[in-house]
């Protein structure tokens, strides 16, 4: 995460990038329900869940690219994009853990990192700094996890395709979790430096 603020280029709410981000948010409860439906006696809808997740990934790429290309970076967009990323990660963790595809220790590790980040955001706001911006390392971590989760979901069946999905899924999960914590630790270091600089200035 980076602490410096990206320049806001528009105050409009209904821009194409923002609409894409809103659509991603609408897809979160749909995605979670599709994953959990078998636990409530419904049919297995994993392929539909994977489709929703794939569309979310496409919109995640497009909203940032279009916002920069069309000069439509907005304050709302800066909040919606990371919010959608975290909600998809959270909903997938809940769904896959409930389905017993993800072990509790991995879920706990990722949730602990999110809790740490929330504390850092609170500290930043107390010192008058803007919300953090997602940097390359944080995005790389999210992309690894967003590859890992559908592969692990796909692995919840029998057959060689699903075995291959499990191998790659766990590889992406390991890389993503490591990068997720690496980005979080770097962010803590940045926040600590800012707070220390403020204390010195006072």
**With the CA atoms of 59, 54, 88 and 99 taken in that order, what torsion angle do they form, in degrees rounded to the nearest 10?**
170
**Residue 10 within any structural domain of the chain:** no
- For residue 3, the model assigns a pLDDT of 39
**Residue 8 pLDDT level (bands cut at 50, 70, 90):** low
**Residue 174 pLDDT level (bands cut at 50, 70, 90):** very high
Report if pTM > 0.75. no
**Residue 3 within any structural domain of the chain:** no
Each as own residue / partner, the long-range contacts of residues 36-40 (CB below 8 Å, 24 or more positions apart, any chain) are: 36/95, 36/98, 36/99, 38/99, 39/98, 39/99
Q: How many domains does the chain have?
A: 1
**Residue 98 pLDDT level (bands cut at 50, 70, 90):** very high
Among 130, 116, 127, smallest CA distance to 183 is for 116
**Residue 22 within any structural domain of the chain:** yes
- For residue 9, the model assigns a pLDDT of 57
Q: What is the DSSP letter of 114?
A: H
Task: Tell me the C-alpha distance between 144 and 176, whole Å.
Answer: 5
Q: What is the mean pLDDT of residues 29-44?
A: 89
**Residue 2 within any structural domain of the chain:** no
**Residue 119 within any structural domain of the chain:** yes
Tokens 């990660």 belong to residue: 89
**Residue 28 within any structural domain of the chain:** yes
CATH number of the structural domain spanning residue 115:
1.20.120.1760
pLDDT surpasses 90 at 168: yes
**Residue 141 within any structural domain of the chain:** yes
Among 99, 131, 126, 100, smallest CA distance to 2 is for 131
Q: Which domain holds residue 177?
A: 16-201
**Residue 169 pLDDT level (bands cut at 50, 70, 90):** very high
Structure tokens at 195: 């707070």
Task: Tell me the C-alpha distance between 143 and 53, whole Å.
Answer: 12
Q: What is the mean pLDDT of residues 96-106?
A: 90
DSSP H helices in the chain: 16-36, 46-69, 75-98, 104-126, 136-154, 160-201
């Amino acid at each position: 995460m980076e602490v410096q603020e990206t320049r806001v280029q528009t105050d409009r709410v209904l821009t194409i990038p923002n609409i894409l981000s809103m659509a991603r948010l609408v897809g979160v409860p749909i995605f979670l329900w599709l994953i959990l439906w078998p636990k409530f006696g419904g049919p297995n809808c994993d392929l539909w869940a994977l489709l929703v997740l794939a569309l979310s990934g496409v919109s995640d790429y497009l909203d940032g690219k279009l916002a920069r290309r069309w000069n439509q970076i907005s304050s709302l967009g800066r909040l919606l994009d990371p919010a959608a990323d975290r909600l998809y990660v959270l909903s997938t963790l809940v769904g896959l853990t409930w389905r017993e595809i993800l072990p509790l220790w991995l879920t706990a590790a990722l949730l602990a990192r999110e809790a740490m980040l929330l504390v850092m955001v609170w500290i930043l706001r107390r010192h008058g700094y803007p919300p953090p911006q997602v940097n390359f390392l944080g995005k790389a971590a999210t992309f690894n996890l967003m590859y890992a989760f559908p592969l692990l979901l796909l692995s919840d069946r029998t057959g060689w395709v699903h075995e291959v999905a499990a191998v790659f899924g766990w590889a992406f999960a390991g890389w993503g979790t490591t990068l997720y914590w690496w980005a979080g630790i770097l962010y803590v270091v940045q926040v600590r430096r800012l707070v220390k600089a403020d204390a010195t200035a006072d």
